[in-house]
A and B are shown apart, each in its own frame.
Chain A
Amino acid sequence: MLTKRVIPCLDVARGRVVRGVKFSADKDAGDPIELARRYNAEGADELVFYDITASHEGRGLFLDLLEQCARELFIPLCAGGGLATVDDLHATLRSGADKTSINSAAVRTPDLINDGARRFGSQCIVLSIDALRTVEPDGRRWWQVHVNGGRKATGIDAVAWAVEGVQRGAGELVLNSIDADGTREGYDLDLLRTVSSRVEVPVVASGGAGTLAHFTEAFDLGNAHAVLAASVFHYGVFSVPQVKGHLRAHGLPVRL
């Protein structure tokens, strides 16, 4: 049986891992290479390496760091942040990533998903979606896709965008709840469940993990395939083995 994956996420800015709260960086959380080594040794199922500044000037440094991290890892590595062209995806894969995570650029140019999947295979194309709960004056509730690090509303329905992204060739979805990010109040389970029921590809829960119960909920109630978390791991609130032990105690298959 496929195990439930636990994925630490390194949000990197100017060569350091930073902690994000509701999508803005506020605190230093350590050295990316040191953390990569630690998570590999602790039994993380995968690692995400995310360039949150995503500035053009920072790209060289980012790829260099990515390459150094990749050397420490014998688990899958997904990298993203500001990737906008097929050439960006190629450079990221060449630097040692197994998958690329695309977000804002895919909203602006949806063909990036198709082109990336055709060139590198769907398994290399992870569509990352930043979604904010939105309530209309008439009471209608929906999740709205945001871009540019969660700062800009697009008017696009996140569930419809997830379905379209998969049709275009995305091999995995990461659902980042802007409401929950960094709050440690739990994943957005409604969003996870809604999207999981509509797509065939794995769905990764992101944003909001704060207690061990939040991880089990993402699988049991959100039907996620994997859970991603950042600050709770970096600051040692939980270790990866602790989370996996908790999942196993709740009858979920994990790799220990």
Chain B
Amino acid sequence: MMRTDAIAIVDYGAGNLRSVVHAVAHAGLQAVVTDDPAVIRNAPGVILPGVGAAADTMANLRSRDLVGVVHDVIAASTPFLGVCMGMQALFTVSEEGGRHGCLDAFPGTVRRFSPGLSIPHMGWNRVHQVRPHPIWDGIDDGAHFYFVHSYFVDPGDETIVIGATDYGVRFPAVIARGSVVATQCHPEKSAAPGLRLYANFGRIVRGTLPSGVPASEEVA
């Protein structure tokens, strides 16, 4: 298959991708919604969106033979953006509705917020830019993003966290490592800062923005 210019938005049958498609288009990115492993493997960038439960997400990815594809595009250093469940699924295990093995691209456990908080964590909250990253270009530190989730990522390696949000605990709102960026918040529902994040991802895909922070600038 020819390599195309269109970013692949992975459609694994999990709800509505329309808002991601609209936001991506509005940010000036060319994208295609697909569950075709060949299209995804050959895309210059991949977005893994998602709403719903962890177990369903993994079942859907498995039934469409997409688990290996996600691992391969990450291993190939293809720019990759996970959103919400598309972030949680990258970790080792999710405690949502039992214990479900996930993609294990990064070590970590997906845990439920503690009782006593209003759950889901639904609404606009600040994302603190705790580590530098090109994806933050033009986005204010502490900008509000829209969240709706009941579980959060507890990563095995704290240094992958580039954006953090406080809700009872301080949890990872955005993680990044290598060519991967993943957000717990929904940039497609986060007005101007969210659209900027998609635009920045587009620039990373086109190579006009680096995909990560040079090692010399990494914050220890």
Residues of chain A at the chain B interface (Cβ within 8 Å) = 1-3, 5, 40, 43, 45, 70-71, 74-76, 93-94, 96, 98, 120-124, 171-172, 200-202, 225-226, 255
- Using CB atoms, name the residue of chain A closest to B146: A76
- The smallest beta-carbon distance between B94 and chain A, in angstroms, is 14
Known contacts: A225-B118, A255-B144. The answer to whether A96 contacts B123 by CB under 8 A is no
* CB under 8 Å from chain A, chain B span 177-196: 188-192, 194-195
Range of interface residues on B (Cβ < 8 Å) = 35 or more
Instruction: Tell whether, in the assembled complex, residue B188 and residue A2 are in contact, meaning their CB atoms are under 8 Å apart.
Output: no
Query: Told that A40-B191, A76-B146, A255-B124 touch, could you supply 8 new A-B pairs with CB distance under 8 A?
Result: A2-B167, A70-B18, A74-B190, A75-B189, A98-B189, A120-B51, A200-B115, A200-B118
Prevailing SS type, chain B contact patch: mixed
Q: Does B98 contact A (CB under 8 A)?
A: no
Most-contacted residue by chain B among A120, A121, A122 (CB, 10 A): A121
- The smallest beta-carbon distance between B186 and chain A, in angstroms, is 8
Known contacts: A70-B18, A74-B23, A202-B118. The answer to whether A2 contacts B123 by CB under 8 A is yes
Q: With contacts defined as CB atoms under 8 Å apart, how many contacts are there between chain A and chain B in the complex?
A: 90
C-alpha spacing A1/B192, complex, angstroms? 19
Q: Does B53 contact A (CB under 8 A)?
A: yes
Instruction: Tell whether, in the assembled complex, residue A1 and residue B51 are in contact, meaning their CB atoms are under 8 Å apart.
Output: no
Q: Does B131 contact A (CB under 8 A)?
A: no
C-alpha spacing A5/B191, complex, angstroms? 14
- The smallest beta-carbon distance between B185 and chain A, in angstroms, is 12
C-alpha spacing A226/B124, complex, angstroms? 11
Contacts of A226 in B (CB 8 A): 123
- The smallest beta-carbon distance between A170 and chain B, in angstroms, is 11
Instruction: Tell whether, in the assembled complex, residue B19 and residue A98 are in contact, meaning their CB atoms are under 8 Å apart.
Output: yes
Instruction: Tell whether, in the assembled complex, residue B122 and residue A123 are in contact, meaning their CB atoms are under 8 Å apart.
Output: yes
C-alpha spacing A136/B53, complex, angstroms? 45
Q: Does B3 contact A (CB under 8 A)?
A: no
- The smallest beta-carbon distance between A58 and chain B, in angstroms, is 22
Instruction: Tell whether, in the assembled complex, residue A201 and residue B118 are in contact, meaning their CB atoms are under 8 Å apart.
Output: yes
Q: Does B62 contact A (CB under 8 A)?
A: no
Instruction: Tell whether, in the assembled complex, residue B19 and residue A3 are in contact, meaning their CB atoms are under 8 Å apart.
Output: no
- The smallest beta-carbon distance between A177 and chain B, in angstroms, is 21
Choose among B26, B52, B117, B124 the residue that contacts A45 (Cβ–Cβ < 8 A). B124
Instruction: Tell whether, in the assembled complex, residue A93 and residue B16 are in contact, meaning their CB atoms are under 8 Å apart.
Output: yes
Choose among B15, B149, B191 the residue that contacts A120 (Cβ–Cβ < 8 A). B15
Contacts of B156 in A (CB 8 A): none
- Using CB atoms, name the residue of chain A closest to B121: A2
Contacts of B148 in A (CB 8 A): 76, 98, 123
* CB under 8 Å from chain A, chain B span 135-187: 144, 146, 148-150, 166-167
Contacts of A74 in B (CB 8 A): 22-23, 26, 188-192, 194-195
- The smallest beta-carbon distance between B12 and chain A, in angstroms, is 15
Choose among B125, B150, B191, B195 the residue that contacts A3 (Cβ–Cβ < 8 A). B125
- The smallest beta-carbon distance between A77 and chain B, in angstroms, is 8
Q: Does B64 contact A (CB under 8 A)?
A: no
Q: Does B126 contact A (CB under 8 A)?
A: yes
* CB under 8 Å from chain A, chain B span 91-113: none
Known contacts: A74-B188, A94-B16, A121-B52. The answer to whether A2 contacts B125 by CB under 8 A is yes
* CB under 8 Å from chain A, chain B span 7-63: 15-16, 18-19, 22-23, 26, 51-53
Q: Does B119 contact A (CB under 8 A)?
A: yes
- The smallest beta-carbon distance between B173 and chain A, in angstroms, is 13
C-alpha spacing A200/B117, complex, angstroms? 7
- The smallest beta-carbon distance between B48 and chain A, in angstroms, is 17
Choose among B19, B123, B189, B190 the residue that contacts A5 (Cβ–Cβ < 8 A). B123
Choose among B19, B115, B150 the residue that contacts A96 (Cβ–Cβ < 8 A). B19
Instruction: Tell whether, in the assembled complex, residue B120 and residue A93 are in contact, meaning their CB atoms are under 8 Å apart.
Output: no
C-alpha spacing A70/B194, complex, angstroms? 16
